[in-house]
Structure 1
Amino acid sequence: MSDAFGLDLTFGAACGEAGTTFRFWAPAHQQVRLDIRDGEPVAMERSADGWFTTTLPVPAGARYRFQLPDGLTVPDPASRFQDGDIHGWSVVVDPRAYRWRAAAWKGRPWHEAVVYELHVGAFGGFKGVAEALPRLAELGITAVQLMPINDVPGARNWGYDGVLPYAPDEAFGTPEELKALIDRAHELGLMMMLDVVYNHFGPDGNYIGSYAPTFFREDLHTPWGGAIDFRLPEVRAFFTENALYWLMEYRFDGLRFDAVHAISESDWIDEMAATVHAAVEPGRHVHLVLENEHNEQSHLAGDVDAQWNDDFHHVIHVLLTGEREGYYEDYAEDTAGKLARTLAEGFVYQGEPSPHLDGKRRGTPSGHLATTSFVSFLQNHDQIGNRAFGDRLTTLAPAKGVEAATAALLLIPHVPMIFMGEEVASETPFLFFTDHQGELADAVREGRRKEFSKFAAFAGAEVPDPNAPKTFEASIPKPHPERAEARSALFKTLLTLRAAEIAPRIPGARSDGAEAVGPKAAVARWTLGDGARLTLALNLDDKAVKIAGLAGPLLFESDLGASDSARAGELPAFTTIALLETAA
């Protein structure tokens, strides 16, 4: 088997024996020059459909950009790396120069996934993440998901302001360092996943409109501007090839697609997923996960593995914090009943009217889906970072309640996701941070403060400046000085149990229903794939509740003796109990 990987792209610069071939789609122009640093600009040959091509004897490492007729120079939209940030020079990269140590890695099946979401910058770049991998593997994590790494303005950003989706941001490291990170993960038995953004480009450095304005629609807008026009074959190819690029050239094991509800031509999702699965090597596990706030399950019938389950988070959050503002109002009534529904069927909203959306119906039926169709979580970058002060659940809820909810998350047969710092009870915020300049920096700062001015909880408070370096620095997770050790031990205990007793039995698992048993409590049951029966009782109230006595061999209890109380008909406060009766 080869130990070198590369993908031949329709777009961009490709190294070959005859030199480097450059391809650039600029249908708005009749002439384009290729500008090589320290060389003379070269006229490119135009095809009838707006493709410009030329081949030059330049090596990997050469710096280049494209010069438009009005003199504007632009980076390659498919740049594999940048020298000088998003406005700088694109770099010719030979993807096959890197020799993979774990070239034979085939991945892991999806039912084994325990996902750990992190921001690369908060770990000190690709090298810093690599250094953290042994600790995460020891904890029981099986998949590390990077927030977007595509090139963004400046050195600090969540990653969703990207404009060059093929270029790892130089603030994190080089392409070779990213590959070394993924290689190291595979050596440790860890999957690596990547968050990708195909629904919009960032506000700074998006030059595509200057040479391919039809890339965007004028008749349809998103919160970020004109919608990307997925009706065009060139647009579809640009993003489909990007997905393949990360999976085939960088050997990521899966992708999380940001906010696909903002992609108007949703058939592209299924087309892309089918293309991906047709392209990957036989026997290799590759996983595709969507964020889709509409709770649409249609894509999950095909080649997409799962969707983020915001409903699970929202229910738990309301139960633990009592918050009711914003979208949490949808979970303010019959919250325990909604807890039971998300445990049993994944989505809470499956077509019911949403109070937050002024009665508009949200969601589609999901009870028939596999339990692994749902990536559930207590925290993630959005749910923390989209708060004015980036508050973590650890600062908003009782520690015992967070621990009980954590136990439920890690023992149910959904795919659990952990946000960086949860495993050490971190209380540091995860704030919204950027590194914009000038008027854009001012607009982002004021827009952020205006956004939260209508919330009572933030009235009169100074929302942190996203562009201040200290805002990013404050967002780096730190272990809780008193609870970190115990919280890590809890995670390790739960993930050891999951790996030994739950995960191998998940394929073929089905819900046997769930019911509310108190104001903040529910009991859920599943028949697992081998016939074993899993019962989970969860009480997020600070008071015990009366229940029908539980029966079955004990798998886990939050506190010693809690299961005895539950068998006798009382579920203690802030408690999770899991019972597992294996098939004869």
Structure 2
Amino acid sequence: MSTHTPPARGNTSSQSRWGAHRDGERWRFGLWAPSAKTVALWLDGAETAMERDDDGFWSVTAPAETGQDYAFVIDGERRPDPAARQQAGDVHGSSRLVDPGAREWSGGWKGRPWEDAVVYEMHVGLFTPEGTFKAAAAKMKDLAALGITAIELMPVGQWQGARGWGYDGVLPYAPHPSYGTPEEMQEMVEAAQAAGLMVILDVVYNHFGPDGAYLHAYAPEFFEEERHTPWGAAIDFTEPAVREFFIENALYWLRDYRLDGLRLDAVHQIIDPSPHHVLVELGERVRDAGLDRPVHLITEDERNEPELRDTGCYVASWNDDYHHSVHVALTGESEGYYAPFAHDPIGDLVLALTRGHVEEGQPRHGKETRRGRPAGHLPWTAFVNSNQTHDQVGNRALGERLISLSDPRGVEVAHALLLTAPFVPMLFMGEEVGETAPFLFFCDHDGELARLTREGRAREFKDFLSFGEEVPDPNAKQTFEASRPFEGDADQMEHWRDLTRRLLSLRAERIVPLMKSGRAGPARVTRTGPRAISACWPFAKGELVARINLGSPPDTTPTSEPEDFTLGDVAVDPFAFALTVSPHK
């Protein structure tokens, strides 16, 4: 269920104790540094002592103007504000006073219901040749015309260097300067919403990046002493100030940037033994924030747990099970995390199309541990399905897209299934035009960190032996440039663009109205051949029937009935797709 509550009265940023907030002609500054002996505000060259509260927060109010540079001097060391809304330069220098909450928005945007969602995952730095918010804003109408209804931005919180995926951010409140200013990001959001597109932001609340995260030095209490995530020190979410840092961040993006939702990265690494889990509190605070539109919270959770979606505060979760089933069915890959899906990928796809997740706690071939809990009670829209994502493409040694790994006819069938099934479909930037250029892992580290990243990246593929040992240097600019989409064969791109447009037009006109009428029972999905599936999803106002061949036709000729969309002939072709939308009369 999406959150949708009456408009709020007043600006909730006034309640925040982290960062700098304008209060008339003065600004309030706050920092949590319980281990520090002294903290002062550095404002355009002058220092003013800050006062410590009993809970470790330091604060001061001072006259200042928008655009001035400031920092905190902690036990004699000048550091940026960890909740800075903008930096004056890189992550190591001064912060800058800006007030994104002061923007006067136009257009009266009221959001969109989640059933409308066709998500487009976007890396701002590669989406256009310029790699900026401003350039992306000019492309929003084109995406809307194609049938996209939501863009999901890979993380924009500032990291060190010019290039990166965004998951190594250290200043989660500050848009990355390579992309543009806070105002330019807001203008991109406004342009997207003017075109009818929701805007969702990927946020990282499970770790900080390796370069410029000064909280480790002056607030060690922010982190757990014993536990580490795959990316660094684990965050201690039992600390009230730590919880507030991230909950306020979520509210800030939704409120000050008028976003329509957030995708929370790797929530399985957000460990909180508190009686009231921080993610539940975050969802409740967003629900109760008084935003004047539906707000959609999405998780990435490799545990396949339904609990957060059961709270009603989280609308969906990325569904890697669906991706793995399709990927293995089309490529035959069986290494690493694909191994459990290699035993019977078509059977797994039947489960995914029936219940959403494949792994729901049952024993799995080749796996010693069980994963997940039953989630078939959730609405089909509680699963964000994809054939490609930044993770699944970029976390390959050579960044190959699905179309480069399998029969293009099969990829077209998978594309049609993704965009017409009643789950929430997500396309990865370029997928809509059959992009063949890779999407590689890239970053912009220096010195020892660059060496460690390069070597670590090479070690990462020990479970994927067929990928080879040659891994492009993630720090090389040519690795970034090689990942640019939209520079391929014009005829092929137009073919795929037309296919995407036709499928999404059918989805908007015929399928979404069925979805909004409500589910009318469980899905009926059967295997009709070694690599053929028949699926029926019932709704209050009709049913949706798909026949899918991913390598062989069905064992018996399917019953003839009117079809609203076809690829090939499902009766005889090894790769084919047929869809019928049957409203009740």
> What is the TM-score normalised by the length of structure 2?
0.94
CA distance in 2, matches of 1:107, 1:18: 33
For residue 172 of structure 1, report the CA deviation from its aligned partner. 0.6
**More divergent stretch after superposition (138-147 vs 27-36):** 27-36
Match of 2:93 among 79, 82, 88: 88
CA distance in 2, matches of 1:117, 1:280: 27
Match of 1:101 in 2: 106
* 1:386-535 aligned within 5 A: 386-453=395-462, 455-459=464-468, 461-481=469-489, 482-507=491-516, 508-509=518-519, 510-530=521-541, 532-535=542-545
For residue 98 of structure 1, report the CA deviation from its aligned partner. 2.5
Q: Does 1:210 align with 2:192?
A: no
* 1:37-52 aligned within 5 A: 37=44, 39-52=45-58
For residue 88 of structure 1, report the CA deviation from its aligned partner. 1.4
CA distance in 2, matches of 1:281, 1:148: 22
Q: Does 1:68 align with 2:74?
A: yes
Amino acid at match of 2:84: S
For residue 462 of structure 1, report the CA deviation from its aligned partner. 2.1
* 1:110-509 aligned within 5 A: 110-123=114-127, 124-265=131-272, 267-282=277-292, 284-302=293-311, 303-354=313-364, 358-453=367-462, 455-459=464-468, 461-481=469-489, 482-507=491-516, 508-509=518-519
CA distance in 2, matches of 1:281, 1:448: 42
CA distance in 1, matches of 2:258, 2:325: 35
CA distance in 1, matches of 2:270, 2:124: 26
Amino acid at match of 1:276: V
The DSSP-based 3-state class of the residue aligned with 1:353 is coil
Gaps of at least 5 residues in structure 2 are: 1-6
CA distance in 2, matches of 1:442, 1:281: 45
* 1:535-554 aligned within 5 A: 535-541=545-551, 543-547=552-556, 549-554=558-563
CA distance in 2, matches of 1:426, 1:399: 11
CA 1:453 to 1:364, structure 2 compared with 1: closer, same or farther past 3 Å?
closer
For residue 453 of structure 1, report the CA deviation from its aligned partner. 4.5
CA distance in 2, matches of 1:228, 1:583: 52
For residue 572 of structure 1, report the CA deviation from its aligned partner. 2.3
The DSSP-based 3-state class of the residue aligned with 1:83 is coil
> Do 2:155 and 2:204's aligned partners in 1 also have CA atoms closer than 8 Å?
yes
For residue 511 of structure 1, report the CA deviation from its aligned partner. 3.2
CA distance in 1, matches of 2:10, 2:195: 20
Amino acid at match of 1:379: Q
Amino acid at match of 2:509: A
> Do 2:222 and 2:242's aligned partners in 1 also have CA atoms closer than 8 Å?
yes
Q: Does 1:575 align with 2:585?
A: no
Task: Summarize deviations over 1:352-401 as a string: whole Å, max 9, x none.
Answer: 23456x41000111111101000000000000000001000111111111
**More divergent stretch after superposition (344-353 vs 218-227):** 218-227
Task: Summarize deviations over 1:132-166 as a string: whole Å, max 9, x none.
Answer: 11110110000000000000110001000011111
CA distance in 2, matches of 1:5, 1:477: 40
CA distance in 1, matches of 2:154, 2:9: 27
CA distance in 2, matches of 1:550, 1:153: 59
CA 1:455 to 1:338, structure 2 compared with 1: closer, same or farther past 3 Å?
closer
CA distance in 2, matches of 1:453, 1:310: 21
Q: Please list every run of at least 4 consecutive aligned residues from structure 1 whose deviation after the TM superposition is greater than 6 angstroms.
A: 1-6
CA 1:107 to 1:207, structure 2 compared with 1: closer, same or farther past 3 Å?
same
What's the % identity of the aligned pairs? Answer: 47
CA 1:151 to 1:529, structure 2 compared with 1: closer, same or farther past 3 Å?
farther
For residue 549 of structure 1, report the CA deviation from its aligned partner. 2.3
For residue 51 of structure 1, report the CA deviation from its aligned partner. 1.2
Match of 2:4 in 1: none
CA distance in 2, matches of 1:425, 1:183: 28
CA distance in 2, matches of 1:550, 1:579: 12
CA distance in 2, matches of 1:349, 1:116: 26
CA distance in 2, matches of 1:418, 1:4: 37
What is the root-mean-square deviation of aligned Cα atoms in Å? 1.8
CA distance in 1, matches of 2:149, 2:336: 33
> Do 1:295 and 1:349's aligned partners in 2 also have CA atoms closer than 8 Å?
yes
CA distance in 1, matches of 2:460, 2:476: 18
> Do 2:158 and 2:171's aligned partners in 1 also have CA atoms closer than 8 Å?
yes
The DSSP-based 3-state class of the residue aligned with 1:279 is coil
CA 1:228 to 1:407, structure 2 compared with 1: closer, same or farther past 3 Å?
same
For residue 454 of structure 1, report the CA deviation from its aligned partner. 5.2
Amino acid at match of 1:473: E
> Do 2:163 and 2:444's aligned partners in 1 also have CA atoms closer than 8 Å?
yes
> Do 2:25 and 2:65's aligned partners in 1 also have CA atoms closer than 8 Å?
no
The DSSP-based 3-state class of the residue aligned with 1:180 is helix
> Do 2:13 and 2:21's aligned partners in 1 also have CA atoms closer than 8 Å?
no
CA distance in 1, matches of 2:365, 2:88: 48
CA distance in 2, matches of 1:285, 1:548: 45
**Count of aligned pairs:** 568
The DSSP-based 3-state class of the residue aligned with 2:166 is coil
For residue 452 of structure 1, report the CA deviation from its aligned partner. 2.1
Amino acid at match of 1:340: V
> Do 1:538 and 1:575's aligned partners in 2 also have CA atoms closer than 8 Å?
yes
CA distance in 2, matches of 1:4, 1:277: 16
CA distance in 1, matches of 2:204, 2:574: 41
For residue 479 of structure 1, report the CA deviation from its aligned partner. 4.5
CA distance in 1, matches of 2:69, 2:384: 41
> Do 1:5 and 1:95's aligned partners in 2 also have CA atoms closer than 8 Å?
no
For residue 257 of structure 1, report the CA deviation from its aligned partner. 0.4
For residue 552 of structure 1, report the CA deviation from its aligned partner. 3.9
> What is the TM-score normalised by the length of structure 1?
0.94
For residue 546 of structure 1, report the CA deviation from its aligned partner. 2.0
CA distance in 2, matches of 1:21, 1:187: 34
Task: Summarize deviations over 1:313-361 as a string: whole Å, max 9, x none.
Answer: 10100111110011111111122111111011100000023456x4100
Match of 2:59 among 39, 53, 62: 53
